[in-house]
Amino acid sequence: MPSASSKLYADDVSLLVVTLDTNPFFWSTFPFPFAEFLSQVLAFLNSILLLGQLNQVIVIATGCNSCGYIYDSTSDKNHGSTTGTMPALYSNLLHNLDEFLARDRQLDADAAHAPGTVPSSLLSGSLSMALCYIQRAFRSGPMPPQPRILCLQGVADGPEQYVAIMNAIFSAQHSTVPIDSCYIGSNNSAFLQQASYITGGIYYKPPQLDGLYQYLSTVFATDLHSRAFLRLPKSVGVDFRASCFCHKQTIDMGYVCSVCLSIFCEHHDKCSTCGG
């Protein structure tokens, strides 16, 4: 899949929208601490801003009950300044992240989760928010910055989000916005593999999280124009399995409605989606 055409954008300016998985149920059981993960991500974001003074970085927190913007470099005019001993990027993002986690935790008090299970993060919501922000950037002028989305995800795929995620993927493909994926969970993510493959992005699963910053800076810091000249990681195999609309389970074979293309694991006389 070809990358975004450089003639549509300013070649030397990048707009990076990062979706950050903050699901507390995942991080409480994952061997790699969230604090260490966040420190390496912050160093990577700071390096993106240092690569060009016009580069833009947007960070969206992906919780298990909600999503929210927690950093926008365009509203931080002095992102290179310092507050105390920390750059403004660090202090502003961490402050907003603490507020988001508190709100998401409050919403979780009313949600029911099966004991011993990790609820999925709202990846579909964060992708939709990222695409909405990019659409606003498209309308900012005749030469908007080169947009791309980077998903930093750890929680396994939530089959109940299949339709919403695929809609976001096709919307990104239509807008020529690559979706890069850095998956740190135990297994691979079929949703993110499909997202990167369809949109022309990069899917990568770091073999060692201790060196996460190195992988982020060498693989995902590359702008779209430079990627044509580099040998970047390619997916060995992509899991194209879909999730059924009836039980929200991943299936190898199923039945497809000829009218609305809904997918079912069992035969139905009438489509429950469109009634056809």
Instruction: State whether 146 and 269 are in the same domain.
Output: no
Q: Which residues contact 162 (CB under 8 A, 6 or more apart)?
A: 191, 242, 243, 248
Question: Residue 246: what pLDDT?
Answer: 72
Question: Residue 7: what pLDDT?
Answer: 41
pLDDT tens column, 41-69: 999 999 998 888 888 999 999 999 899 99
Residue 148 is part of which domain span? 14-228
Contact 155, 22 (CB under 8 A): no
Query: Does residue 234 belong to any structural domain of this protein?
Result: no
Instruction: State whether 213 and 247 are in the same domain.
Output: no
- The yes-or-no verdict on residue 76 having pLDDT over 50 is yes
Residue ending a domain, choose from 228, 249, 267: 228
Tally of CA atoms within 13 A in the half-sphere of 157 that contains its CB: 24
Instruction: State whether 96 and 169 are in the same domain.
Output: yes
DSSP 28: T
Instruction: State whether 247 and 213 are in the same domain.
Output: no
Token code pair at residue 271: 């489509």
Query: Does residue 8 belong to any structural domain of this protein?
Result: no
Question: Residue 11: what pLDDT?
Answer: 65
Mean pLDDT of 129-149: 88
Token code pair at residue 64: 């298990």
Instruction: State whether 44 and 175 are in the same domain.
Output: yes
Instruction: State whether 135 and 255 are in the same domain.
Output: no
Query: Does residue 1 belong to any structural domain of this protein?
Result: no
Instruction: State whether 259 and 213 are in the same domain.
Output: no
Number of domains into which the chain is organized: 2
pLDDT tens column, 174-192: 999 999 999 998 888 889 9
pLDDT band at 39 (very low <50, low <70, confident <90, very high): very high
d(CA 72, CA 74): 5
Token code pair at residue 162: 């299949």
- Which CATH number covers residue 84? 3.40.50.410
Query: Does residue 236 belong to any structural domain of this protein?
Result: no
Instruction: State whether 122 and 254 are in the same domain.
Output: no
* Distance separating the N- and C-terminal Cα atoms of the chain: 34
pLDDT tens column, 193-241: 999 999 999 999 999 999 999 999 999 988 888 888 888 877 666 766 7
Query: Does residue 26 belong to any structural domain of this protein?
Result: yes
Place of tokens 């707009």: 15
Instruction: State whether 175 and 224 are in the same domain.
Output: yes
Calculate helix-pair angle for 162-174, 190-199, nearest 10 degrees: 20
Q: Which position has the higher pLDDT, 90 or 147?
A: 147
Question: Residue 111: what pLDDT?
Answer: 57
Tally of CA atoms within 13 A in the half-sphere of 193 that contains its CB: 16
- The yes-or-no verdict on residue 84 having pLDDT over 50 is no
